[in-house]
A and B are shown apart, each in its own frame.
Chain A
Amino acid sequence: MSAWTPYQPKNEAPWNVERVVHLHRRAAFAASWSEVQRDLREGPEAAIHRLLSGHERSKFNAEFEALSQNIAQAAVASNSAIRLKAWWFLRMLKSPDPLGERLTLMWHNHFATSNRKVENLLWMHDQNQLLRTHSRGPFGKLLSATLKQPAMLKWLDADANRKGHPNENLGRELLELFTLGIGNYSENDIQSAARALTGWTIKKDEFVYQESRHDDGQLEIFGSRLTLDGDGLLQRTLEHPATARRLAWRICSTFMGENTYDEAALADLAAGLQRQDLNIGWAVETVLKSERFFSANNLRTRITSPTESVISAVKALELDDPPPNTLQLSEWSTRMGQDLFYPPNVGGWNGGRSWLGSRSIVARCNFASALAMGQLWQSSDPARVESSLVKLLEQYAVGSHLRDRAQWLATLLYGTSTAEQVSIVIGDLNSSETPLSHMIARLMASPDYYLA
């Protein structure tokens, strides 16, 4: 695992505020200042372990889950997609396990399923819970659970795929997107995969295998001739080395910045994944603990997704008590280009540079204003954010000079601050009555905030 040697703090890569903020923005949306200070004190080992264990924020666990469940049930019962989105935003904001939510978001992109065609919020919700439950386990369990579930079966026309008249949709995306990736199979393999999956369908909100519809004839796949059912097909895709390579890529593209890993690093991680029974938790741990992850050229080189950027400001600034209206947070994310439960197609969001179209940037700037002006809360109050921030800065004993305050806020959001950023943020604020919310609006509308 030479590409992923563990991180040890050293002169060129010290364990400092910049790296603590980096870790949280990549793996947990963001951290509050007290969390940053705690992790700075306790060191990288403890900080990463806390994220991986799922108990980053330990308080109110049972209470939170009960509340979350009630909200989800109400959203499904009222058949309101926007409320289901708001439910997930609340989870991302308040969950004791932010890494789990970050991974759930990753899997929602990997197994991108849209309610546009599924048209069933119960199924969409259940799929989302499966992604969460299996988010850091062996990939085989996640794959099987997600595929043998009505949302995916409906999305990719499983019911239309029957003995004697195969429908390729599910088989093709299984090989192209969920497991092997493009270039690792033939058109004939696709047709065989479709035949192996015949008999899979939905009955009464459940997956069922209808033997009478299954094609148990000989088929040829990945160079072997045999008879194969859906479970057998999944097993073969899991054993295929290309699947480990694709998962390594998925994890790196989620947690690493642009141009920070090459084909050799992917191969190294893929080889480890194969040895570890495709254990995702192991791979995530390996990446987050690596020297590569904390190296200077991996800092602030990843363009944040709309969902991440919406959540991270609210979390870092501790504006989550009471939380903003999460219906609004989800609408802003949509305006920026990420509509959860409605990915653009089965390939998911492309991510990276494609997040920064003009509309998305205008929406990011407008979101910064709306947040700073207190417009995202149930009762809109222009002074809300200013007074919250005043209290926050008092709590952390930040100096009263505008320069100190701008520098502290920039450090909290970006991990670091330059004199230039501070000057831009302060600008002409001397006469302003609400300098802190002005600064926040400027910091969040800045291109510097688009990178994490």
Chain B
Amino acid sequence: MTSRREFLKVAGGGALVSFSPLLPSLFASTASASGASADEKVLVVIQLDGGNDGINTVVPYADDGYARARKLLFQKTSELHKLNDHVGLHRSMKAAFELFEDDRLAIVQGVGYPNPNRSHFSSMKIWQTASIDSADHGGYGWLGSALDYAAEDVERPNEASTAQNAIFVGGQETPVALWGRRSSAISLSRAEDLQLELSSMQSAVPSPITSRNLNDIEQFVRKQSVTAQSAAKAFAQQNQKSGSTASYPDSGLASQLKFVSQLLRGGNTARVFYTIQSGYDTHANQESSHSRLLGEFSEALKAFLNDLKAAKLDDRVVVLAFSEFGRRAAENDSAGTDHGSSGPLFLAGSPVRGGLIGDTPDMSDLVDGDLKSLIDFRQVYATLLGKWLDVPSKEILRHDFETLRLFH
């Protein structure tokens, strides 16, 4: 891994130019390229938004409790893609099953945390900040903190870094998971989102050094501006050499992942890409939408991994898919399910050691109508941080968590 300082030496220090007449040069002049090079390990996160019904995703068909809890939503054993003699994937997840058989998909079962929170917002914040304590939830995300750590520049700790270390692909707000103290996430939903109309109106003019003392929020808006404009410039250069020809299914998630692939093929140096598949909050008439979501997820994932493989990028990329919680064991009377606790989590990619990880939660051993959590999600994070992103996990998670065998 090339350090940022070494990179600056190689690049002669002035890798990027100042783009905007509107930014004080104090910031523009430090808008140097990030230390990341285009061959580092990458994490792609897919957030299954709304609380995925894990029980009907990785179906415990051999558990007597399953048929008792699920009547209208019962999945026929014969239609499942059986992973072993106890559980099988939902019938719409054929593509995921193929990845599983090809040793490119790990399914971690019963993932949650102590004292489950059933609020979408609180539970999502718990996952995104890797902290159960709500006092931490306004702050920084687990990935933002990890990128902060990776980009630490001990010589100039007070200067704004414009390292483009994370990219959120989607139409929503940038998730808290990506917010860091110094690292910056950019967000896009399509290529045009990063095309700055460099009309004559905003052509570069010399910018004087600011004479004012900037307060915290003024510094923030300037830092965000520099980041955005650097990203726009860098993206314009990269975009010319992308061009994926792989075929993807027709879904929102698939086009988002295709866009990630284009960015990677174009040599983008971000370490983390993040995207969201919405719609998992299935309180009523669950089956048709859940089946569609799982199918779209599986097919998009497979197309993405195969695309990366064809581009010989697959050794660098791991995909994590999680949801903020699972659903209650018992279905409700609207042919749907309400907010629950633990659920399965997916890790995919060539570097991943495929297979089922952990025990399957017992449908007759419930806590308050919910499945038990058998593996803390922070164990997964600790493994990803330590063994994939090369960041000491305790620095980010504040505690030591036992790691899992997720990689070859």
Report A's interface with B, CB cutoff 8 A: 157, 160, 162, 164-165, 167-169, 172, 176, 182-183, 187, 190, 257-259, 301, 303, 335, 337, 339, 344-347, 349-350, 353-354, 356-363, 365-366, 368-370, 372-373, 418, 420, 423-424, 427-428, 437-438, 441-442, 445-448, 450-451
Within 8 Å by CB of B201, from A157, A160, A190, A442, lies A442
A420 touches B210 (CB 8 A): yes
Q: A358-B231, A369-B202 are in contact. Are A337 and B196 (CB under 8 A)?
A: no
A362 touches B284 (CB 8 A): no
B187 touches A359 (CB 8 A): yes
Q: A347-B121, A362-B195 are in contact. Are A357 and B185 (CB under 8 A)?
A: yes
User: For B215, what are the chain A residues with a Cβ–Cβ distance below 8 Å?
Assistant: 301
> 1/0 per position for B204-236, CB-CB distance to A under 8 A?
011110111001111011101101110110000
Q: A424-B22, A441-B202 are in contact. Are A187 and B118 (CB under 8 A)?
A: yes
A349 touches B334 (CB 8 A): no
> 1/0 per position for B17-28, CB-CB distance to A under 8 A?
000111100000
Q: Is the C-beta of B259 less than 8 angstroms from some C-beta in chain A?
A: no
A164→B332 CA distance, assembly (Å):
10
Within 8 Å by CB of A356, from B188, B207, B210, B221, lies B221
Can you name 11 extra interface pairs (CB under 8 A) apart from A362-B196, A447-B23?
A176-B119, A190-B118, A258-B216, A356-B221, A358-B232, A362-B228, A368-B201, A424-B21, A427-B21, A441-B199, A448-B221
Chain B residue nearest in CB terms to A342: B171
User: For A358, what are the chain B residues with a Cβ–Cβ distance below 8 Å?
Assistant: 184-188, 194, 224, 227-228, 231-232
Chain A residue nearest in CB terms to B196: A362
Quote the shortest CB–CB distance from B237 to chain A (angstroms).
15
Quote the shortest CB–CB distance from A426 to chain B (angstroms).
9
Chosen A-B contacts, 9 in total, with CB atoms closer than 8 Å, are A182-B121, A347-B121, A358-B231, A360-B187, A362-B194, A363-B193, A369-B199, A373-B199, A373-B201
User: For B322, what are the chain A residues with a Cβ–Cβ distance below 8 Å?
Assistant: none
A361→B227 CA distance, assembly (Å):
9
User: For A164, what are the chain B residues with a Cβ–Cβ distance below 8 Å?
Assistant: 333
Chain A residue nearest in CB terms to B204: A427
Q: Is the C-beta of B309 less than 8 angstroms from some C-beta in chain A?
A: no
A357 touches B22 (CB 8 A): no
Q: Is the C-beta of B291 less than 8 angstroms from some C-beta in chain A?
A: no
B22 touches A447 (CB 8 A): yes
Q: Is the C-beta of B173 less than 8 angstroms from some C-beta in chain A?
A: yes
B332 touches A424 (CB 8 A): no
A115→B222 CA distance, assembly (Å):
35
Q: A445-B202, A447-B225 are in contact. Are A157 and B283 (CB under 8 A)?
A: yes
Q: Is the C-beta of B189 less than 8 angstroms from some C-beta in chain A?
A: yes
User: For B216, what are the chain A residues with a Cβ–Cβ distance below 8 Å?
Assistant: 258-259
Among B22, B187, B212, B218, the most chain A Cβ lie within 10 Å of the Cβ of: B22
Quote the shortest CB–CB distance from A167 to chain B (angstroms).
6
Q: Within residues 262 to 303 of chain B, which ones have a CB less than 8 A from any CB in chain A?
A: 283-284
Chain A residue nearest in CB terms to B118: A187
User: For A450, what are the chain B residues with a Cβ–Cβ distance below 8 Å?
Assistant: 221
Within 8 Å by CB of A169, from B174, B217, B224, B283, lies B283
6 closest A-B pairs by beta carbon, nearest first, are: A165-B333, A427-B205, A358-B186, A361-B228, A160-B334, A358-B228
A162→B283 CA distance, assembly (Å):
13
Q: Is the C-beta of B30 less than 8 angstroms from some C-beta in chain A?
A: no
Q: Is the C-beta of B364 less than 8 angstroms from some C-beta in chain A?
A: no
Within 8 Å by CB of A258, from B186, B188, B217, B332, lies B217
Q: Is the C-beta of B353 less than 8 angstroms from some C-beta in chain A?
A: no
A447 touches B201 (CB 8 A): no
User: For B193, what are the chain A residues with a Cβ–Cβ distance below 8 Å?
Assistant: 335, 359, 362-363
Q: A420-B208, A424-B208 are in contact. Are A445 and B217 (CB under 8 A)?
A: no
Quote the shortest CB–CB distance from A31 to chain B (angstroms).
22
Q: A187-B118, A359-B186, A451-B218 are in contact. Are A350 and B201 (CB under 8 A)?
A: no
A438→B168 CA distance, assembly (Å):
32
Quote the shortest CB–CB distance from A7 to chain B (angstroms).
22
User: For B119, what are the chain A residues with a Cβ–Cβ distance below 8 Å?
Assistant: 172, 176, 182
A345→B119 CA distance, assembly (Å):
13
Quote the shortest CB–CB distance from A427 to chain B (angstroms).
3
B197 touches A366 (CB 8 A): yes
A427→B21 CA distance, assembly (Å):
8
Q: A344-B173, A424-B21, A447-B222 are in contact. Are A160 and B284 (CB under 8 A)?
A: yes
A300→B193 CA distance, assembly (Å):
27
> 1/0 per position for B141-162, CB-CB distance to A under 8 A?
0000000000000000000000
A349→B173 CA distance, assembly (Å):
8
A446 touches B188 (CB 8 A): no
A442 touches B332 (CB 8 A): no
A446→B225 CA distance, assembly (Å):
8
User: For B361, what are the chain A residues with a Cβ–Cβ distance below 8 Å?
Assistant: none
Q: Is the C-beta of B122 less than 8 angstroms from some C-beta in chain A?
A: yes
User: For B220, what are the chain A residues with a Cβ–Cβ distance below 8 Å?
Assistant: 353, 356
Q: Is the C-beta of B70 less than 8 angstroms from some C-beta in chain A?
A: no
Q: A424-B21, A447-B22 are in contact. Are A354 and B173 (CB under 8 A)?
A: yes
Q: Within residues 165 to 190 of chain B, which ones have a CB less than 8 A from any CB in chain A?
A: 168, 171-174, 184-189
A451→B221 CA distance, assembly (Å):
8
Within 8 Å by CB of A361, from B120, B195, B224, lies B224
B284 touches A420 (CB 8 A): no
A354 touches B174 (CB 8 A): yes
User: For A301, what are the chain B residues with a Cβ–Cβ distance below 8 Å?
Assistant: 215, 217
User: For B336, what are the chain A residues with a Cβ–Cβ distance below 8 Å?
Assistant: 160, 167
Within 8 Å by CB of B186, from A357, A418, A442, A446, lies A357
Q: Is the C-beta of B247 less than 8 angstroms from some C-beta in chain A?
A: no
Q: Is the C-beta of B338 less than 8 angstroms from some C-beta in chain A?
A: yes
Quote the shortest CB–CB distance from B291 to chain A (angstroms).
18
Chain B residue nearest in CB terms to A350: B173
User: For B334, what are the chain A residues with a Cβ–Cβ distance below 8 Å?
Assistant: 157, 160, 165, 167
A168 touches B20 (CB 8 A): no
Chain B residue nearest in CB terms to A338: B173
Chain B residue nearest in CB terms to A183: B134
A267→B228 CA distance, assembly (Å):
38
Quote the shortest CB–CB distance from A171 to chain B (angstroms).
11
A353→B215 CA distance, assembly (Å):
14
Quote the shortest CB–CB distance from A339 to chain B (angstroms).
8
Q: Is the C-beta of B339 less than 8 angstroms from some C-beta in chain A?
A: yes
